[in-house]
């Protein structure tokens, strides 16, 4: 019996990497090991980048001054996730947010929990919930998630430049 003609094939690809973070991100990851969030300052504008990548993207200059930023900040924008992705380990729905940490000039991305998805809003004040220090390593996984602080919302003026 003749089989059907081949119309498609499946080609697996696997590539193995040994990734390295570079100098600036190494300092950032080392800071996390000690429960600190270390940003870096642009020598031209004074803005603090977090996480730092070693350069000021607006000026192409090395960022050499290290600045510790707070583990609390303001939600600048958010997304309520209702889809189960293959790699998702969280129960849906959950909240992803851009968070402008106090002392930083660029928001960064994290999950917000312990908040009703109907309550999440721009300007909400949130703080990091860390793992037990005995479990800390050089990774952002030291932070489990962010949760509302209960403070009054930040005024839009304080973050509108970062939306």
Partner 1 sequence: MRDVAVVSFAQAPNLRADRERNEVEIVMPVVREALDSVGLEQSDIGFTVSGSCDYLTGVPFSFVMALDAVGAWPPIEESHVEMDGAWALYEAWVRLQHGDIDTALIYSFGKTSLTDLDKVMSCQLDPYTLMPLWPGGISLAGLQASAMLAAGTVSEADMAAVASHSREAAQGNPAIPEAEGPADVDELLSRPRVAHPLREHDIAPSTDGAAAIVLVAGDRAAEVCDKPAWISGIDHRVDTHAPGNRDLTTCPSARMAGERAGAGRGGIEVAEVYAPFSHQQLLLASELGLGDGVDINPSGGALAGHTFMVAGLARIGEAARRIHDGTASRVLGHATAGPCLQQNLVCVMEAGR
Partner 2 sequence: MSRKAETDENKGILTAPYVLEYSYTRSTGPVLGRFLSGLRDKKIEGIRAADGRVLVPPVETDPVTGEELDEFVQVGEVGTVTACSWLAEPRAEHPLDKPFAWALVQLDGADTGLLHAVDCGSAEKIEVGSRVEVSWRDERHGFITDIECFRLVGD
- Interface with partner 1 by CB under 8 A: which residues? 9, 11, 13, 15-25, 53-62
Give the one entry of partner 2, partner 1, none that residue 139 binds, where binding means its C-beta sits below a cut-off of 5 to 8 angstroms depending on kind.
partner 2
* Angle made by CA atoms 7, 10, 11, in degrees to the nearest 5: 130
- What are the residues facing 72 on neighbouring strands? 127
Of 57 and 133, CB closest to partner 1: 57
Q: Which residue has the tokens 């189960």?
A: 84
Of 30 and 59, CB closest to partner 2: 30
What is the rounded radius of gyration, in angstroms, for the C-alpha atoms of the chain? 20
Of 6 and 152, CB closest to partner 2: 6
CA distance 104 to 39: 7
To the nearest whole angstrom, how small is the minimum distance from the Cβ of residue 120 to partner 1?
A: 29
To the nearest whole angstrom, how small is the minimum distance from the Cβ of residue 20 to partner 1?
A: 5
């Amino acid at each position: 019996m003749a089989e059907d003609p081949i119309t498609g094939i499946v080609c697996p690809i696997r590539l193995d990497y040994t990734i390295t973070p570079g100098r600036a991100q190494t300092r950032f990851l080392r800071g996390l090991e000690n429960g600190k969030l270390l940003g870096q300052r642009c020598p031209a504008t004074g803005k603090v980048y977090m996480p730092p990548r070693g350069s000021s993207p607006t000026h192409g200059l090395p960022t050499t001054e290290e600045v510790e930023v707070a583990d609390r900040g303001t939600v600048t924008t958010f997304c309520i996730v209702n889809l189960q992705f293959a790699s998702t380990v969280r129960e849906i729905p959950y909240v992803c947010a851009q968070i402008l940490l106090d002392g930083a000039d660029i928001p960064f991305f994290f999950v917000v929990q312990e908040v009703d998805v109907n309550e999440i809003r721009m300007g909400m004040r949130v703080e990091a919930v860390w793992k037990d220090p005995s479990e800390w390593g050089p990774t952002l996984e030291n932070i489990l998630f962010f949760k509302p602080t209960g403070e009054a919302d930040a005024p839009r003026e304080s973050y509108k430049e970062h939306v």
